[in-house]
Amino acid sequence: MKRARVAKKALAKPGLAASVLRDRFREGDRWLVYCEDQDQLSAVTAELRAAGLAPNQYHADMTGDPRAHLSG
C-alpha cells in the first residue's frame, strides 16, 4: 500500500500528465487523470492549464450534481 501511494504521489506526475495530454489529446477526447489528494490535483490542473488545456476537476468533496461537474 505504501509503495502504491509513492507511485501515485510521484513528483513528476503533474508534468508528465501535461506532456502526455499535450501530445495526445484531440478535440472531443475525454481523459481522466487520477490524483492521490487535493495538492496533487491542484498541481496537475495547473500544469494542464499551462500546457494550454482546459481541465475540469472532480473529487469526492465536491457538492452539487456530479454529472454537471463532469460535463463541463
- Tens digit of pLDDT for each residue in 7-58? 667 888 899 999 999 999 999 999 999 888 899 999 999 999 999 999 988 8
Handedness of CA 8, 12, 18, 20 (dihedral sign): negative
CA distance 68 to 31: 16
CA distance 50 to 44: 10
Q: Answer whether residue 70 shows pLDDT above 70.
A: no
The pTM of the full predicted model, rounded to 2 decimals, is 0.76
Q: Answer whether residue 71 shows pLDDT above 90.
A: no
pLDDT in the model for residue 46: 96
Q: What are phi and psi of 44, to 5 degrees?
A: -65, -45
pLDDT in the model for residue 53: 93
